[in-house]
Structure 1
Amino acid sequence: MARNDMALTGRIDVHHHVLPEFYKDVQRQAGIMGSAYQAFPEWTAEKSLALMDETGTATSILSFTSPGIFFGDVAQTRALARQFNDWLADLVARHPKRFGAFAFLPLPDVDAALAEIARVFDDLKLDGICLLTSVDERYIGHPDFWPVYEELNRRKAVVFIHPCYPPGTEARGWDIPRMLVDYPFETTRVATNLIFNGVTEKLPDIKFILSHAGGTLPMLAHRISLFDKKTKQQGNYPKGALHYISRFYYDTALSGHAAPLDALTAFVPPSQILFGTDYPYVSEDIAIAETKGFAAYGKFDAATRALIDRGNAEGLFPRLKEL
């Protein structure tokens, strides 16, 4: 792909991470010395911009990602949320046409999270919120965080759900990188948790984006729906699981192949699909190859592809229409 492809697609990448040195330092202090399967990747804003030009991407909505900012010290988490979100706001201010940002919240502190939501949207003017799939042994969708969901719903917020390490312990001898298997299942758990706990029914104005084409959710959607009238939570999702599954948004990160795209589009309309890369936690080569794989998928016509490349994201982030 050439640089001038950007003028043709104007893609908006909703799954694009940042990894400044200070975030690596925070993780090292917590005993984390690399990503899920390798050493920390090298990232700079300039590297992101170069990849964006290569893949025809006009704007990327940036986010910090796993392991997040809660390491057992709530006071530290509050301070890190402010530091990280201020840094994102500064980066977006320096590149307003190329970057947007999803803010972190200082969960599990609900009161602090509510205060940070106000600061993020009213003062920093960031584009949405990034929630990792679990924090402090609780999945997103847990009732303890209900006031946060209510406020996000009131603001009609865009909420990017990204997987993190599963809570609890692992079996002895299990040495498979978590991002290969666990991450897709963590996304599926949260999507189902949001449905079964009534978040998607009672608070329908939150616009949730699920990472990596929904993880394993497209493969399990039919199975989940078979038991709509048999679960103890059925009253929380009266329209049936497939209704709520089809209303989530899904990014295409690491899904540049016909098999995951076929599974996704079997249950999800094109209006709910967004372009994503997962850079820099995947290399430039993988991000470019996956973008080419997505572009080669033959079941999207030109109008549908334009929606997924840009139009659907413009609906979520109206300011991008003006760029």
Structure 2
Amino acid sequence: MSGWLDVHAHYVTPYYAERCRAAGHGTPDGMPALPEWSVEAAIQVMATSGVAAAVLSVSSPGVHFGDDSTAKDQNARDLARHVNDEGAQVVARMPDRFGLAATLPLPDVDGALAELARAFDELGADAITLHTNHHGRYLTDPAYDPVLAELDARAAVVTLHPTSPPCWEHTALGRPRPMIEFLFDTTRCVVDLVLSGTLDRYANIRWIVPHAGAVLPVVAHRVAGMSTLVGAPVDVPNALGRLYYDLAGVPLPVALDGLLTLVGPNRLLYGSDFPFTPAPVVAGLAEGLRHAPALQAVSLGLEPSSPAATLFPRLATKAGERR
């Protein structure tokens, strides 16, 4: 068996961490601290968990830390440029081991469009990462249509990542938002993409939904049924079956089976969530997945015609060269 592709791997540069702390995000989304990251640490985790290559992205809180003022927008543009340049340099040094899902400075749409073009045309990014909401504005916000249109025109791969929802102060009940709020915000965002028709309007975007689909397998049929009461019926399970799903988080012993009642095994991808998930936990979760009966015939690597190879052809080519 060849090594897996990790589509949910993060990186934290020293400068990014410094800017997060300066903006009050030293304990992002209620977690104890920003984790440290290095290429060497990432390679070690990949070796212990059987990962051949990893697609790097910036996690929550992203790069835009303030309101929509000109100064905040410029700061976000500068920080997006920094993290994307740093990620691209890692890929350039080890093109067979790493890919890049570039960050955009949303909700600054003009800045996002400029950085999107630079990421693909100059840096050779493999994907774009988007958060479920950007300062409370979800991806169906009409202001974001130009960004989605450009992603659609490029048939881009988008790795979706949750962040704290609006009014988390009232819903998280003092607990870290990744505990349950992240799962609900992913579910809210994807359901909104489906019911609004956004997935159909921008059908060329290839979405990767994190954390084994969050709560989507549980609510998909309920949402479909309720859609008949509030408007035109929507075949929500069918729409969700066209997306891809990473297995970051805790997919065993329950979530994976639920997800496979909704989508086929050819929609699954591996995700570690390192370094926000500590290395020993990553290794333990990966070991569990390797022995999961439901995954014995599933390809999570870069073999020809695998989901990972379909979405990340550059990395698949590099894997073929290694083989």
Find the aligned partners of 1:230 and 1:257 in 2 and give their Cα distance.
Answer: 34
Q: C-alpha separation between the residues in 1 aligned to 2:174 and 2:234?
A: 40
Contact 1:255 1:294 in 2 (8 A): no
Is residue 2:301 matched to residue 1:309?
Answer: yes
Q: Residues of 1 paired with 2:199 and 2:9: CA distance?
A: 25
**For residue 45 of structure 2, what is the amino acid of its counterpart?**
L
Aligned equivalents of 1:309 and 1:184: distance in 2? 25
Matches within 5 A, 1:74-223: 74-171=73-170, 174-223=173-222
Matching of residues 57-68 of structure 1 within 5 Å: 57-68=51-62
The question of 1:43 aligning with 2:43 is answered no
- Report the number of matched residues: 309
Look up the SS of the partner of 2:200 in the other structure: helix
Instruction: State the shift of 1:241 in Å.
Output: 1.1
- Whole-angstrom CA distance in 1 between matches of 2:168 and 2:58: 24
Query: SS of the counterpart of 1:58?
Result: strand
> Residue 225 of structure 1: SS of its match in structure 2?
helix
The CA distance in 1 between the partners of 2:48 and 2:171, in whole Å, is: 42
Distance in structure 2 (CA, Å) of the matches to 1:255 and 1:270: 17
C-alpha displacement of 1:299: 2.1
One of 25, 33, 42 as aligned partner of 1:32: 25
2:54 matched to 1:55? no
Match of 1:275 in 2: 270
Unaligned 5+ residue runs, structure 1? Answer: 1-7
AA at the equivalent of 2:254: A
Work out whether residues 14 and 61 of structure 1, in 8 Å CA contact, stay in contact via their aligned partners in 2.
yes
Report 1:232-251 matches (<5 A). Answer: 232=231, 234=232, 240-251=235-246
The residue type paired with residue 208 of structure 1 is W
Is the counterpart of residue 11 in structure 1 residue 4 in structure 2?
yes
The Cα shift of 1:184 comes to 0.4
With normalisation by structure 1, the TM-score equals 0.92
SS of equivalent residue, structure 2 residue 45: helix
Residue 162 of structure 1: CA displacement?
Answer: 0.3
Deviation of 1:21 (Å): 1.3
Q: Read off the aligned partner of 1:9 and give its amino acid letter.
A: S
Deviations 1:8-32 (A, max 9, x none): 3321000000012111101111112
- Checking the alignment, whether the CA contact within 8 Å between 2:4 and 2:52 is kept in structure 1 is yes
Contact 1:142 1:197 in 2 (8 A): no
Deviation at 1:298, TM superposition (A): 0.7
2-side partners of 1:280 and 1:101: how far apart? 16
Alignment match of 2:313 (pick from 293, 318, 322): 318
Aligned residues: percent identity? 38
CA displacement at 1:229 relative to structure 2: 2.2
Please list the CA deviations of residues 182-222 of structure 1 after superposition, one character each: whole Å capped at 9, or x if unmatched. 00001001101111221111111100111101111111112
* TM-score normalised by the chain length of structure 2: 0.92
Deviation at 1:321, TM superposition (A): 2.0
Instruction: List 4+ stretches of structure 1 deviating above 3 A.
Output: none
Distance 1:42 1:116 in 2: 26
Query: 2-side partners of 1:40 and 1:313: how far apart?
Result: 29
Q: Deviations over 1:95-137 (max 9, x none)?
A: 1111001001121121221121111111110101000111122
Deviation of residue 172 (structure 1)? Answer: 8.8
* Match in the other structure for 1:5: none
